Amino acid sequence: MEDITAKIPYDGTTTPVPATAIHAADEFNDRRVEFQGAVEDSAQTLDSADPGQLSKTLFVNGVAAQSMLDSGAANTVVLTPITGANGLRVATPVVKTYDLLDGAIFNFAANATNSGNMTVNVGQTAGTLIGAESLFLEDGTTNVPVGKVVAGRFYNVRYDLSNTRFVLLSSGVFTPELMTGANDSDGTVTDPNGLILKWGKASRTGVDTTITFAVAFPNACFQAFAMGGTNADVLRHPSAYSPTTANFKVQCNDAAMTTFRWFAIGR
């Protein structure tokens, strides 16, 4: 788009340009062409009865622009606009550059859980990607740990042009499928930072009872705890020990012990 103030024609050589100066017809036509291009690029069909199409265009390019679809694999995030091939213009087949995206923030639901260092690639479509750049934690230097990005959870990334990289701004928020269980059944929940909490209720099978997690911790079980499951059992002091990613043990020498509740924390 050209500078409008530099294109005002008038008779004479007065400087500055008089306030009474009038645009030539071709200047108005040029503006209409540029506005039309913006509207059509936002995937709208021109409608003379709709005076709000330009404001809708600004919404698409300002608000919806941040929402992307991830079609990549475990460690290679591939982002394209939710507005589709004819919506927000991220890049063209000819001009593929991140120069205008410095500081741009994109949010997306991860398509897969990462198993190593990550990259992000952004484009209008999968066929017009700008290029893969490394993804780091918010400090800008630490690689994304294994399992930090979880499939189905939402994340924000920002592009840092000066360091030619993407930065992970936030971990995924809670989603309903990430929590299972109820008061008296085994359950699990994963918090936005990847910390996993598990809990349950079990019966004593002997001096040592092994509790096997329904789903193992991906990386480690940090701590496990046990307590009596009834008023009487609270006084029998069960103790949890030897936690692993798959299970832990509960010891109680009191044969009168019947049930206990347990809790485990890991990642």
Residue 262 belongs to domain with CATH number: 2.60.40.3940
In terms of domains, do 22 and 52 share one? yes
Q: What residues make up the domain containing 80?
A: 64-170
> What is the three-class DSSP state of 27?
helix
- Is residue 58 domain-shared with residue 71, that is, in the same domain? no
- When pLDDT is averaged across residues 178-204 and rounded to a whole number, the result is 77
Has residue 107 been placed in a domain?
A: yes
Same domain, 96 and 187: no
- Assess if residue 22 is contained within a domain: yes
Region 177-182: mean pLDDT is 58
What does the alpha-carbon distance between residue 66 and residue 82 come to, in Å, rounded to a whole number?
Answer: 9
78, 82, 86, 92: CA torsion to nearest 10: -30
> How many domains, the chain?
3
Torsion of CA 95, 98, 101, 106, to 10 degrees: 110
Same domain? 164 vs 202:
no
Do 233 and 257 touch, CB atoms closer than 8 A?
yes
Q: 34 or 2, which is more confident? A: 34
Same domain, yes or no: 57 and 72 = no
Of 62-71, 77-86, 108-117, 168-177, the poorest mean pLDDT is in 168-177
Taking residues 112-116, report their average pLDDT: 92
Asked if residue 108 is part of any domain, the answer here is yes
Q: Which has the higher per-residue pLDDT, 67 or 136?
A: 136
Is it the case that residue 181 has pLDDT exceeding 90?
Answer: no
**Above 90 in pLDDT, residue 245?**
yes
- 231: pLDDT strictly greater than 90: no
212 lies in the same domain as 159: no
Give 123's pLDDT tier (boundaries 50, 70, 90): confident
Domain for residue 1, yes or no? no
Confidence check: pLDDT of 17 > 90: no
Residue 69: inside a domain: yes
Q: Is the residue at 82 inside a domain?
A: yes
Q: What is the pTM of this model?
A: 0.52
Residue among 166, 170, 133, 165 at smallest CA distance from 149: 170
pLDDT-wise least confident of 51-65, 146-160, 220-234: 51-65
Mean pLDDT of the chain: 79
